[in-house]
């Protein structure tokens, strides 16, 4: 059963240990597509992302991500899967004991890059993509929240990912900065072409940057026909 989707889940159950989080998950995302996940806290969004990322094992159904079969993938191949994707976290998760450049260098070294010229060129390119080349030698504490998130996006781009997972990337930012981050992500999506899977609670993002939206609720993942009808105040 072949698949051209970047993510292809069919009738998958997601467990945390022995606890069922989501059941009968069917999710198919095209290369280059932008998709939102929404849902209340505890509804299963993060567990689903962890399954896609290879952190939670999948034991039933059909599950492929970036060409890897998640039911049969060996532990030693998880790193190869993750090099096909970049992850942007709500809380940035930068290493605070080293500069912006060294944060990015750490990722490249740990994913097999060795040539110094190629490393310098790649770091320069991703910093230019997020308009922060001038901040390469700054420490994370010298950056604003928005700048730290831009660096987190740059980090996610390092290995030319086929898929970017953005887990509440604007959750800790004010509305103006959140808009700036969305514009950068949209530009990257337009010019670089990765699929983007974004978790958000921000209704204005869904309104201003509409895309296919899926909701985790009552152990199910289901399409949302009209996100304007969701009462986000309940969350």
> Could you tell me the CATH number of the domain that includes residue 217?
3.40.50.300
Per the structure, how many domains does the chain have? 1
**Which tokens belong to 18?**
């022995």
CA dihedral for 135, 141, 142, 146, sign (positive or negative): positive
What tokens were used for 86? 């970049």
In a domain, residue 129? The reply is yes
Residue 230's pLDDT is what? 67
155 part of a folded domain: yes
pTM of the model: 0.90
Indicate the angle between helix axes 116-129 and 175-192, nearest 10 degrees: 130
- Mean pLDDT per 10-residue interval, the chain, length 235 residues: 84 93 96 95 92 92 96 91 89 90 93 93 95 95 93 93 92 89 93 94 91 95 79 59
Residue 219 lies in a domain: yes
Residue 92: inside a domain = yes
How much is the pLDDT for 123? 96
**Integer Cα distance of 137 and 120 in angstroms:** 13
Structural domain contains residue 2: no
The verdict on residue 1 lying in a domain is no
Tokens of 165: 């997972």
Has residue 74 been placed in a domain? Answer: yes
Residue 235 lies in a domain: no
Range of the domain at 190: 7-225
Q: How many CA atoms lie within 13 A of 191 on its CB side?
A: 11
């Amino acid at each position: 059963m072949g698949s051209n989707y970047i993510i292809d889940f069919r009738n998958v159950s997601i467990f945390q240990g022995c606890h069922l989080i989501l059941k009968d998950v069917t999710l198919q995302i095209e290369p280059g597509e932008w998709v939102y996940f929404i849902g209340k806290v505890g509804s299963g969004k993060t567990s689903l992302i962890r399954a896609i990322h290879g952190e939670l094992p999948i034991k039933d159904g059909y599950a492929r991500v970036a060409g890897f079969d998640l039911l049969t993938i060996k532990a030693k191949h998880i790193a190869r899967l993750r090099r096909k994707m970049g992850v942007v976290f709500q809380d940035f998760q930068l290493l605070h004991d080293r500069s912006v450049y060294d944060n990015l260098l750490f990722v490249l070294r740990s994913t097999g890059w060795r040539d110094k010229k190629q490393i310098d060129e790649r770091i320069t390119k991703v910093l230019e993509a997020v308009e922060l080349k001038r901040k390469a030698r700054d420490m994370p504490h010298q950056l604003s929240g928005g700048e730290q998130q831009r660096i987190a996006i740059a980090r996610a781009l390092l290995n030319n990912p086929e898929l970017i997972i953005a887990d509440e990337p604007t959750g800790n930012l004010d509305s103006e900065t959140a808009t700036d981050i969305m514009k950068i992500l949209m530009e990257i999506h337009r010019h670089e072409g990765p699929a983007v899977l974004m978790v958000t609670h921000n209704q204005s993002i869904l309104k201003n940057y509409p895309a296919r939206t899926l909701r985790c609720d009552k152990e199910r993942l289901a399409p949302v026909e009209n996100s304007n009808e969701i009462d986000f105040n309940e969350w």
